[in-house]
Amino acid sequence: MSEKRIIEVKCKCGQALARYEKNKRGKLIKMYLERIIKDRAGVFLNKDRQINEIIRCPKCQQRVASVVYIHGMKSAKLNQGQIMPIRT
């Protein structure tokens, strides 16, 4: 059976951030940008994000992620204190 799950990532303020295909079980730590199915708030894929760039929630302006390379792929490392906890 596949471990793949489609999940909804939300800011703690309630703003929907992304629909994402998660491959492994466990806590959501980061999202590979290329696996974001829907950029619900237009903050992840709306422009060419640079490494270390901070991504903020458009509603509450809190930092929800920063951009890093993981396994050579541009990813959003999530700010655990600011997103709704997700565990699969």
Give residues in contact with Zn ion (CB under 5 A). 11, 13, 15, 57, 59-60
Instruction: Provide the edge-to-edge strand list for the sheet that holds 16-22.
Output: 5-10, 16-22, 36-39
Closest CB to Zn ion among 29 and 60?
A: 60
Residues written for the chain: 88
Supply the minimum distance, in Å, between the C-beta of residue 82 and Zn ion.
7
Nearer to Zn ion, 57 or 78 (CB): 57
CB of 57 to Zn ion, least distance (A): 3
- Compute the distance between CA of residue 74 and CA of residue 76 in angstroms, rounded to an integer: 7
